[in-house]
Amino acid sequence: MTGAATLKAWAGAALAAPVVWLASIVNVPLKSWQRATGTGGMAAFFLAPNMAIFGIFVLVPLVINFFYSATSGTAYFLQDRTYVGLEQYQRLLDCGSYLDTATCREDLFWKAVHNTGLFVVAQVALMTVVSMATALILNREIVGRSFWRAVFFFPVLLSPVVTGLIWRWILQRQGLLNLIVHNRGGEPHNWLTDRFWAFTAAVSVSVWAHMGFYTLILLAGLQAIPRDLYEAAEMDGTKPARVFWRITLPLLMPNLLVVIVLTLIRAVQIFDEAYVLTGGGPGTSTLYITQYIYEIGFASLLRNPGLASAASILMGLVLVVLTLLQLKVGRRGERKGARE
């Protein structure tokens, strides 16, 4: 052994000594625990910290939220609130026609539900198409491919509040977009007080902010498709459109389903970017469910924690259904992968 190697071995041993010492201390109770509980007990031991955190920060608030939804009053502490059973749910669901929000007792809740539905349809469709197109382009041999990949992923790293503020500065009456329009001789437009443009902005900004993540998922799927399939198609003289519909799309379907379900879940939860960008306006045309819950629970002078809790439980149920769908899609993909 050379001098350098000896030195390296000594340094390694010196660095490892505290760890070994610590392990020897922990080893005694751990061995006793394993003897007493078996390997199942060891799994429980290692899972316990995570489960404790999950319990304290997720399960306990969930249960407390459920209790809140069965109470009324403006007080924040449960002992000061009045038990009303399912009254808050009845109030939320009391509607002449669910298609006409004006006939609903809580018209703003249903307005938020309708807006969220519309947002989900538009955002999921646009996100899927744009992410797919971007992934297809970035999968080609283009100049500066790594650079472009980084460019498209960069907005994902931004805080949603920053994203909302940037686009607000661009789209507001005295914003960058109107400056450009004005300098080119056009008539500036008040984009954020126009219902159509405010909705379009909310959807587009959300797509801009998150498409990098979904593009990455699709890109991984594209790169997993065997090259020889494309080579065979090329030799057969198959047109590019047919190659896309017959080879790319079917083989990308598991990834695409994951993207659709994930986008769906995130779209239902839309809050921060849209809240900063439009504040729910004009009127209530970009008021989404999460903002409704936040406003009615904390921010509004008409705050009602019980009603906000009931609304969040209903929204939670929708998310549970979507999550189950995601799990089913994921498992189907895994099974298909295993068969292949």
Partner 1 sequence: MKKTRTLLAALSVSLLASASAFAGDVRIMWYSDGVEGDVIQDLLNRFMKDNPDIHLTLDNVAYKVIQEQLPIQLEAGQGPDIARVTNIKELAQHWLDLRPLVADPKYWDDNFGDTLDWMRPDGSNAIPGFLTQLTLTGGFANKTLFEQAGVPLPGDKATWDDWINAAAQVAKSQQLPAAFAIDRSGHRISGPNVSFGANYVGPDGMPAKVDDGTKAFVSKLVDWTAKGLMLKDTWVSAAGSTYRAAADDFINAQIPFYYSGSWQVANLSTKIGDSFDWVATGSPCGPAGCSGVKGGAALVAIKYTKNPKDVAKVMDYLAREDVVKEFSERTLFLPAHKGVVEKGGLKWVSTDKNVGPALDKFVKAAGETLSAADALPPWKWANAYFAALVTRVSQVMAGELSLDDAWDKIDQDIADRVAEAK
Minimum distance of partner 1 from residue 12's CB (angstroms): 45
The separation between the first and the last C-alpha atoms of the chain, rounded to the nearest angstrom, is 50
Q: Which of residues 79-98 bind partner 1 (CB under 8 A)?
A: 80
Give dist(CA 292, CA 73) in Å, integer. Answer: 18
Q: Which stretch binds partner 1 (CB under 8 A): 49-57, 190-198, 207-215, 243-251?
A: 190-198
Kindly state whether residue 270 participates in binding partner 1, applying the rule CB under 8 A. Answer: no
Q: Judge whether 191 and 197 are in contact, CB under 8 Å.
A: yes
Residue from 210, 254, 280, 314 that binds partner 1 (CB under 8 A)? 280
CB of 7 to partner 1, least distance (A): 50
Q: Which CB sits closer to partner 1, 307 or 315?
A: 307
Pattern 91-130, partner 1, x by CB under 8 A: -----------x----xx--x-------------------
How many residues bind partner 1 (CB under 8 A)? The answer is 38
The CA-CA-CA angle for residues 153, 157, 161, to 5°, reads 125
> CA 150, CA 129: separation in Å to the nearest integer?
19
Please select the residue that binds partner 1; options are 50, 146, 174, 183, rule is CB under 8 A: 174
Phi, psi of 301 (to 5 degrees): -70, -15
Distance (Å, whole) CA 91 – CA 68: 15
Please state the closest distance from residue 82 (CB atom) to partner 1, in A.
Answer: 9
Go through 328-340 and write b for each residue having 16 or more CB atoms within 10 A of its CB, e for each that does not: ebeeebeeeeeee
Supply the DSSP symbol for 340. Answer: -
CA atoms within 13 A on the CB side of 88: 25
Is residue 195 involved in binding partner 1 (CB under 8 A)?
A: yes
* Contacts with partner 1, residue ranges (CB under 8 A): 72-77, 80, 102, 107-108, 111, 172-174, 190, 192-193, 195, 198, 278-287, 291, 295, 298-302, 304, 306
